[in-house]
Amino acid sequence: MEDMPALSRKMTMLRYMDVRLYAMVLCLILGLTAALSCFLLERAAAQNYEEELASPVLFDASEPERYSYVRLQYLTDSFVEHVKSRNRYYFGFDFMFRPYIISMKGELPENLKELMEYTYSDGLEEPPALVDVCGFGEPIQSELMGYARESYSLMWEETQIPMTMEEMSDIVGNYYLDAVPRTFLEQYPLGLLFYVVPAVLLAGAAVCGILYGRRLKAQNRRLAGRLGELAQADRELAAAGEYVKGMKVYLTEHFVISASYQFEAVPYARLKQAEYSSGMVIGITEDGFAHILAAGRKCRPLGAMLAGEINRRMGRCACSPEPASEDMEKIIE
């Protein structure tokens, strides 16, 4: 197996530098930076959320601000249950007998059960301790307001308190207290971006890395058994300039070297024909293999001219003797 010859920096850049490599490095840097930044931001946001839960404010049914509480002295039985979420809705009353709509899920804690029992008792017993119920304010939808109106009307004589939807809204406000416990992400779904953004960037880096690895494997297959040619091409590349600035195509004395589409170092002597087609310059070697020698924006206006120049050099090379084999051996060494 041939050893890979030491290549010049210029040839190494042409062979290994690729947009996939740039994209992989960029996505990796951005992904790791985003992961660290998002981790710190998520921790800070989660801590702020925990502090918010630890210091609720008094619930305002007209326009709640954040995590809030109501101090209940009375609690009715649930008047409706949501089919999907299984949340149950109750009327709670504070010591001023001001009503609130409260949403809870599952079995009630014992202190709320005691409040409910006292609410439906004859009132002769000692009242239980007031209970603080905490949660987040949610807007009361019209359907829920309708159920609340029907239930609330049954508590009173309609002749004393006529119940319209507008009057019900004036009584209970525009928001109910959702006392179902929530995680940070349930309360702030945009917090998922703390995880999604780094994951997408790192996944992009992985994809670009896989594509770049496949490119190198394909390149190694094309260069298998041709390391001597590569060493000679590297020697000639030192004195060659780009055919057109930015095209990444070099025409040396005996080789066309290109990194325009993929890395190629093909001697003119092995080429049968070069032609411009579909925005690319394609070289056909004697083994029938097609090599993309140039492609991209720079190639479109100058591709036909480049193909003609390669064909001209192929003809000139056919008339001149190839490098001596002993010179090639020295280069390989």
Q: How far is CA 295 from the centre of its chain?
A: 31
Rg of the chain on CA atoms, in Å: 39
Alpha carbon distance 261, 247 (integer Å): 10
Q: What is the pLDDT of residue 160?
A: 54
Q: What is the pLDDT of residue 324?
A: 43
Name which residue leads in pLDDT, 187 or 318.
Answer: 187
Q: What are the sequence ranges of the domains in the chain?
A: 56-177, 224-317
Q: What is the pLDDT of residue 162?
A: 54
Alpha carbon distance 260, 18 (integer Å): 9
Average pLDDT of the segment spanning 310-328? 64
Average pLDDT of the segment spanning 75-96? 93
Q: What is the pLDDT of residue 24?
A: 95
Share of the chain above pLDDT 90, in %: 48
Q: What is the pLDDT of residue 287?
A: 85
Quick one: DSSP state of residue 191? G
pLDDT digits (tens, 9 = 90+) for 197-231: 999 999 999 999 999 999 989 888 888 877 888 88
Task: Using pLDDT thresholds of 50, 70 and 90, give the confidence band for residue 331.
Answer: very low
Q: What is the pLDDT of residue 301?
A: 86
pLDDT digits (tens, 9 = 90+) for 255-303: 999 998 889 899 998 899 999 988 899 999 888 888 889 888 888 888 8
pLDDT digits (tens, 9 = 90+) for 100-149: 999 999 999 999 999 999 998 887 778 899 999 999 999 999 999 999 98
Question: How high is the mean pLDDT of the chain?
Answer: 87
Residue 20 has which token pair? Answer: 């996939």
Q: What is the pLDDT of residue 321?
A: 54
Element (H, E) at 72: strand 68-72
CB 253 within 8 A of CB 259: no
Quick one: DSSP state of residue 79? S
Name which residue leads in pLDDT, 154 or 38.
Answer: 38
Alpha carbon distance 89, 81 (integer Å): 6
| pLDDT of 329 over the 60 cut | no
CB 266 within 8 A of CB 255: yes
> Which numeric CATH code is attached to 224-317?
2.30.29.30
Q: What is the pLDDT of residue 320?
A: 58
Task: Using pLDDT thresholds of 50, 70 and 90, give the confidence band for residue 332.
Answer: very low
Instruction: Calculate the alpha carbon distances from 141 to 5, 42, 145, 227 in Å.
Output: 75, 32, 6, 75
Q: What is the pLDDT of residue 327?
A: 42
Alpha carbon distance 74, 58 (integer Å): 17
pLDDT digits (tens, 9 = 90+) for 61-78: 988 888 999 999 999 999
Q: What is the pLDDT of residue 5?
A: 63
